[in-house]
Structure 1
Amino acid sequence: MMNKDKQISSIAIKQISLLVIILVLAGLICSNLALFIPSVLGAITIYVVCRKYNFYLQEERKWKPSLAAFALMLASLIVLILPIYFIADLIIDKLGNAQEYMAKFNVFLDKIHGYIYSKTSFDILSQDNMNKLKSSVGKFSTSAVSGTFNTLTVIMSMYFILYFMLEKPRLFERILTTSAPLKRSNVSLLGEKLRKLIMANAIGIPVVAIGQGIVSLIGYLIFGAPGAVLLFALTAAASVIPVVGTAIVYVPVCIFMIAEGNTAQGIGLAIYCVVVVGLTDNLLRFTLLKKLENIHPLNTVFGIIMGMNLFGFMGLIFGPILISFTLLLIQVYRNEFSDEETPPDLELPENKDLKNKLI
């Protein structure tokens, strides 16, 4: 006869059964509505950015909820979505004629390879690697064009979901708070950390990208770089890549200009980009991003890779958020179920104040 102490209690069986049912239903919902996952993530992102202004308009200015929601949706479209979509659409438009683009890109690549080989006798790109690079760029341009409709669909459904979040924000937040199977302190902690992560990614990354893109565009126009507008879009997109960043765009352009015989302009552009564009990058990252949230570069790298695979261009923002949020959930799990002392960066502000008073 089994010892009663070793028997699984009926309460534990009910909890496990209910958890299994919830996970199965959640899996069914996510698998069948996977198309709308980027829309939901986008709606939550914009909601967090607009949350303070939404409460101000509705509760202090006494605006009608629907009017406040539409006003904030329009503002977010102009400030957040249109600049990102403009850059993406500009790249897609320029790469739209794949055959003509690839012909120009092949000439561009061959010119750089030939110049470096003639000066250094170093075969930086073997013929096999050059063919692979050309093939990869061709596939990217084709997929970018085909993804235009999907991006528009995501944006439309995102704003449809966002409207109901903004119209009744207290109800939306109460549903999330009561549904979370965590202590109230951990729910507050999770919300605060998530807010900082979203602000850093939704505000910080686009501002840094557009800022570097504009500064580099000025240099491209001054030194006569070919296709300055396209290079502006590519530089802005490349700025989200840590370590390499914008150099992945302007270095080949400078080499190409020198190979074409425009030595002074090529060297001048290289100096401009290293000094001015690099200074702009450091200035924005160490002022704006440090104030919002300090995100580890590896989070950004792997987040962008994952996000682009899952969500396309929108993944530039959602990918790093998902990586950071997953790590945050692991920390919250330890805080919820571990007896260890809570790490200082995970303590709530009121708990820190209390500890300081006791000391």
Structure 2
Amino acid sequence: MSHHEKQISSVVIKQIALLAIILILAALICFNLALFIPSVLGAITIYVVCRKYNFYLQEERKWKPWASALVLMLASLIIIILPIYFIADLLIEKLGNAQAYMTKFNVFIDKIHDFVYKKTSIDLLSKENMSKLKGTAGRFSTTALSGTFNTLTVVMSMYFILYFMFERPRLFERILASAAPLKRSNVSMIGEKMRKLIMANAIGIPVVAIGQGIIALIGYFIFGAPSPILLFALTAAASMIPIVGAAIIYVPICIFMIAEGQTGPGLGLAAYCVIVVGLTDNVLRFTLLKRLEDIHPLNTVFGIIMGMNLFGFMGLVFGPILVSFTLLLIQVYRNEFSDDDTPELELPGKGKNDDLENKIDLIV
């Protein structure tokens, strides 16, 4: 092998150097604008949800771009943002002072532990485990609630970004398409998959959560559970967690009510939650969410944990999207650079959209 054959191609060196510069600049931008990352994610989420309506108003109804943008921004604020904000605000208002809340929480856990140990002689929660549970709950609640204090700043900057995305959507999508160094089929696949993921997380999961919370609230009022409004907000938030879901809230409440001597109401609430609330969860998940996108439960679990650490309360929506998007990029990488002869991935659901969607090439 000659000396020239061992040399690295100048083209490869230029590509590596340019890629390194791009990564360094991107890292600097993200580091210094980290405060606006939730705003960007929120703007993209609302853009995808309202995308076809924006095109309909601008291209079919011939609305002015600014008018279409303002109307959709107002609609998204009323339908999507305000319900989430009111639940978060309700949690903050009801929980009040963090120290007082943790004192009540510790009493609540101690009473449940004493009741279970007295009836079964089983030490489910040792002193060490109880200390860990109380400490974890304190850190988690503080992290979740502190992430909501800058909500106003996030929402304002989100709508500032969203306005320019809505006003000239074709230009926005062309920029994204031209900036992506991928095949056209992969760009289309990412756009369609992300649309389904965002719809499932931004629309499907909150609808299931609020629906389950309302059904549970009825039971809390019927059987006289303590602080039913607070329990409604906690149940709605907990129902977003797969597998265990709202049981994290209503099972300890039922045990607490029985330990307080309210045996009949406690057992009645337990039966109501297991049957009615559980049935509501199954019906909504197997109808609404299955029609939007079938998201693996592990994606949601790890996404919520990561999202809560990164974005606070808003991470309930953004976390699972980021995890699913990461897995999607791995799939795209294999499809883009694999040397085997497997056919390219087809766009999911192609040809099944309505006339307006068929008219518009999805480039998101």
The answer on 1:23 being equivalent to 2:27 is: no
Q: Aligned in 2, Cα 1:5/1:143: closer, same or farther, shift over 3 Å?
A: closer
Deviations 1:132-184 (A, max 9, x none): 32333334444444333322211111111111101110000000000000011
Deviations 1:200-236 (A, max 9, x none): 1111110111011011001101111001000000000
Partner of 1:347 in structure 2?
Answer: 346
Percent sequence identity over aligned pairs: 78
**Gaps in structure 2 of 5+ consecutive residues:** 353-364
**1:337 partner letter:** F
SS, match of residue 148 in structure 1: coil
Distance 1:283 1:342 in 2: 38
Q: Aligned in 2, Cα 1:343/1:257: closer, same or farther, shift over 3 Å?
A: farther
**Gaps in structure 1 of 5+ consecutive residues:** 354-359
Distance 1:205 1:21 in 2: 39
Say if 1:96 and 1:141, in contact at 8 Å, map to a contact too: no
Partner of 1:356 in structure 2?
Answer: none
Distance 2:342 2:48 in 1: 26
Q: What is the deviation of 1:34?
A: 0.9
Say if 1:212 and 1:281, in contact at 8 Å, map to a contact too: yes
**2:68 partner letter:** A
Deviations 1:23-61 (A, max 9, x none): 111111111111111111111011000100000011111
Distance 1:243 1:349 in 2: 27
Select the structure with the greater relative contact order (CA < 8 A; seq sep ≥ 6).
Answer: 2
Q: What is the deviation of 1:96?
A: 1.8
Q: Aligned in 2, Cα 1:327/1:101: closer, same or farther, shift over 3 Å?
A: same
TM-score normalised over the length of structure 1:
0.93
Partner of 1:357 in structure 2?
Answer: none
Partner of 1:69 in structure 2?
Answer: 69
Partner of 1:297 in structure 2?
Answer: 297
Say if 2:186 and 2:332, in contact at 8 Å, map to a contact too: yes
Say if 1:73 and 1:159, in contact at 8 Å, map to a contact too: yes
Distance 2:64 2:287 in 1: 37
Partner of 1:104 in structure 2?
Answer: 104
Distance 2:141 2:320 in 1: 23
Q: What is the deviation of 1:268?
A: 0.6
Distance 1:351 1:69 in 2: 28
Partner of 1:59 in structure 2?
Answer: 59
**1:187 partner letter:** V
Distance 1:82 1:18 in 2: 44
Deviations 1:270-325 (A, max 9, x none): 01100111111111111111111111000001101111111111111111101100
Partner of 1:280 in structure 2?
Answer: 280
Distance 1:350 1:76 in 2: 26
TM-score normalised over the length of structure 2:
0.92
Q: What is the deviation of 1:3?
A: 3.8
Partner of 1:148 in structure 2?
Answer: 148
SS, match of residue 149 in structure 2: helix
Q: What is the deviation of 1:338?
A: 1.0
Distance 1:74 1:215 in 2: 28
Distance 1:282 1:350 in 2: 25
Distance 1:28 1:66 in 2: 32
The answer on 1:332 being equivalent to 2:359 is: no
Q: What is the deviation of 1:342?
A: 4.2
Q: What is the deviation of 1:110?
A: 1.9
Distance 1:78 1:19 in 2: 42
Q: What is the deviation of 1:7?
A: 2.7
**1:53 partner letter:** Y
Which deviates the most, 2-11 or 12-21?
2-11
SS, match of residue 149 in structure 1: coil
Q: Aligned in 2, Cα 1:304/1:141: closer, same or farther, shift over 3 Å?
A: closer
**1:348 partner letter:** L
**2:178 partner letter:** T
Aligned residues: 352
Distance 1:342 1:313 in 2: 41
Q: Aligned in 2, Cα 1:349/1:142: closer, same or farther, shift over 3 Å?
A: closer
Say if 2:148 and 2:313, in contact at 8 Å, map to a contact too: no
Say if 1:303 and 1:321, in contact at 8 Å, map to a contact too: yes
Partner of 1:129 in structure 2?
Answer: 129
Q: What is the deviation of 1:129?
A: 2.4
Partner of 1:120 in structure 2?
Answer: 120
Distance 1:352 1:64 in 2: 30
Q: What is the deviation of 1:68?
A: 0.8
Once superposed, what is the RMSD of the aligned Cα atoms?
2.0
**1:156 partner letter:** M
Deviations 1:236-275 (A, max 9, x none): 0101111111111000000011111111111110011001
Say if 2:45 and 2:198, in contact at 8 Å, map to a contact too: yes
Say if 2:145 and 2:313, in contact at 8 Å, map to a contact too: no
Partner of 2:95 in structure 1?
Answer: 95
Deviations 1:316-338 (A, max 9, x none): 11111011001101111111111
